[in-house]
Chain A
Amino acid sequence: MSDVTAISGAGAREATRKSLRGSALADHPLVQLTMVRFREFMREPEALFWVFIFPILLAAGLGIAFRNRPADVLKIATVAPQLTLSLRQERLLDVQQLPPAAAEEALRTGKAALLVQPGPGDTVVFRYDDTNPEGRTARMLADRAVQRAAGRTDPVASSDELIREPGSRYIAFLLPGLLGMNLMGSAIWGLGFAIVDARRKKLMKRLIATPMPRHYYLLSFIFSRLLLLVIEVGAVLGFGALVFHVPVRGSWLDLAALCVLGSLSFSALGLLIASRAQTIEAASGLMNLVMMPMWIVSGVFFSAQRFPDALQLVIKALPLTALIDALRANMLQAADFSQLAPQLSILGAWLVVCFALALRLFRWR
Chain B
Amino acid sequence: MPEMGARFALRVSDLRKAYKDVIAVDDVELKVRAGECFGLLGPNGAGKTTTIEICEGLTPSDSGEVEVLGLRWNSDAAKLRQRLGIQLQETQLSEKLTVFETVRLFRSFFRQGPAPSEVIALVQLEEKRNSRVGALSGGQKQRLALACALVGDPDFLFLDEPTTGLDPQARRQLWELIEQFKLAGRTILLTTHYMDEAERLCDRVAIMDHGKVIALGTPRELIASIGAEHVVEFSAGGAERAVETGAMRGIEGVRDVHLENGCVLMHVTELHRAVPALLDELTRQGVPLTELRTHSASLEDVFVALTGRHLRDE
Residues of chain A whose beta carbon lies under 8 Å from any beta carbon of chain B = 1, 3-8, 11-13, 15-16, 18-19, 27-29, 31-33, 36, 39-40, 43-44, 198, 201-203, 205-206, 208-212, 365
Inter-subunit contact B96/A39 (CB<8 Å): yes
Contacts beyond the supplied A4-B122, A5-B184, A201-B92: 16 A-B pairs with Cβ under 8 Å = A7-B119, A8-B185, A8-B186, A12-B153, A15-B115, A16-B111, A29-B108, A33-B108, A36-B101, A43-B96, A202-B88, A202-B91, A203-B93, A209-B81, A209-B84, A211-B81
Cβ of B107 and Cβ of A27 under 8 Å apart?
yes
B306 within 8 Å of A by Cβ?
no
Would A4 and B112 count as touching, CB distance under 8 A? no
Name the distance in Å between B51's Cβ and chain A's nearest Cβ: 15
Q: A4-B184, A12-B114 are in contact. Are A40 and B96 (CB under 8 A)?
A: yes
Q: Tell me the interface secondary structure of chain A in the complex.
A: helix
| Closest CB in chain A relative to B55 CB, distance in Å | 11
**14 A-B pairs with C-beta separation under 8 A:** A6-B118, A8-B186, A11-B114, A12-B153, A15-B114, A33-B105, A33-B108, A43-B96, A198-B94, A203-B91, A209-B56, A211-B78, A211-B82, A211-B109
Contact across chains for B184 and A16 when beta carbons are under 8 A apart: no
Q: How many angstroms between the C-alpha atoms of A27 and B113 in the bound complex? A: 13
The reply to whether A15 and B180 form a contact with Cβ atoms under 8 Å apart is no
Is B181's beta carbon under 8 Å from chain A?
Answer: yes
The contact of B92 among A13, A18, A202, by CB within 8 Å, is A202
Is the beta-carbon distance between B184 and A210 smaller than 8 angstroms?
Answer: no
B121 within 8 A of A: yes
Q: Which residue of B is nearest A19, CB measured?
A: B115
Q: Tell me whether A8 and B152 are in contact (CB under 8 A).
A: no
Query: In the complex, what residues of A have CB within 8 A of residue B148's CB?
Result: 206
Flag if A36 contacts B97 (CB, 8 Å): yes
Q: Which 8 A-B pairs have the closest CB atoms?
A: A201-B92, A211-B81, A32-B108, A210-B109, A209-B86, A206-B91, A43-B96, A212-B109
Nearest A residue to B57 via CB reads A209
B1 interface residue per 8 A CB criterion: no
The tally of CB-CB contacts under 8 A between chains A and B is 110
Contact between A3 and B186 (Cβ–Cβ < 8 Å)?
no
* Cα-based distance from A8 to B94 in the complex (angstroms): 28
A44 to B57, CA, bound (A): 34
A3 to chain B: closest residue by CB? B122
Q: Given A202-B91, A206-B91 in contact, is the A4-B96 Cβ separation under 8 Å?
A: no
Residues in B neighbouring A31, C-beta threshold 8 A: 108
**A11–B186 CA distance with the chains assembled, in angstroms:** 15
A132 to B107, CA, bound (A): 68
Could you say which of A3, A7, A15, A198 has the most chain B C-beta atoms within 10 Å of its C-beta? A7
Q: Report Cα–Cα, A43/B98, bound state, in Å.
A: 11
Q: Which residue of B lies closest to A37 (CB)?
A: B94
Number of interface residues of B (CB under 8 A): 44
Q: Is the CB of B91 within 8 A of A40?
A: no
Question: Which residues of chain A come closer than 8 Å to B109, judged between CB atoms?
Answer: 29, 210-212
With a cutoff of 8 Å between Cβ atoms, the chain A residues found around residue B244 in the complex are: none
Residues on A with C-beta less than 8 A from B186 are 8
Closest to B79 in A: A211
Separation in Å of the B76 CB from the closest CB of chain A?
A: 12
Known: A43-B96, A203-B94. A210 touches B152 (CB 8 A): yes
Does A210 lie within 8 Å of B81, measured CB to CB?
yes
Any chain A CB within 8 A of the CB of B234? no
Tell me, in angstroms, the Cα distance from A75 to B286 when the chains sit together.
106
Contacts of A33 in B (CB 8 A): 105, 108
Expressed in whole angstroms, the minimum distance between the Cβ of B20 and any Cβ of chain A is 16
| Residue from A19, A205, A212 within 8 A of B91 (CB atoms) | A205
Contact: A7 with B97, CB < 8 Å?
A: no
Q: Residue of A at shortest CB range from B151?
A: A210
Name the residue on B nearest A31 (C-beta): B108
Q: How far is the CA of A31 from the CA of B107 in the complex (A)?
A: 12
Chain A residues whose CB sits within 8 angstroms of the CB of B81 once the complex forms: 209-211
In the assembled complex, the CB of A363 is this many whole angstroms from the nearest CB of chain B, namely 13
Q: How far is the CA of A359 from the CA of B150 in the complex (A)?
A: 31
A32 to B107, CA, bound (A): 10
* Closest residue on chain B to residue A29 by CB atoms: B108
CB distance from A215 to the nearest CB of B (A): 13
**Given A1-B180, A27-B107, does the pair A6, B58 have CB atoms closer than 8 Å?**
no
Residues 25-55 of chain B, each 1 if its beta carbon lies under 8 Å from chain A, else 0: 0000000000000000000000000000000
B90 & A202 in contact (Cβ 8 Å cutoff): yes
Q: Is the CB of A206 within 8 A of B88?
A: yes
Complex contacts, A208 vs chain B, CB 8 Å: 58
In the complex, what distance in Å separates the CA atom of A212 from the CA atom of B152? 12
Least CB separation from A14: chain B residue: B114
Least CB separation from A18: chain B residue: B115
| Chain A contacts for B107, CB-based, 8 A | 19, 27
On chain A, the residues within 8 Å of B185 by CB distance are 8
A39 to B132, CA, bound (A): 12
Assess the B96–A44 pair: CB atoms within 8 A: yes
Given known A-B contacts A12-B112, A19-B115, A39 and B105 have beta carbons under 8 A apart: no
Cβ contacts B172-207/A at 8 Å (1 or 0 each): 000000001101111000000000000000000000
Across the interface, do A209 and B101 meet the contact criterion of CB distance under 8 Å? no
Q: Please indicate the chain B residues that have their CB under 8 angstroms from the CB of A13 in the complex.
A: 112
Chain A residues, CB < 8 A from B78: 211
**Residues on B with beta carbons closer than 8 Å to the beta carbon of A8:** 153, 184-186
Question: Cα distance A32–B93 when bound, in Å?
Answer: 15
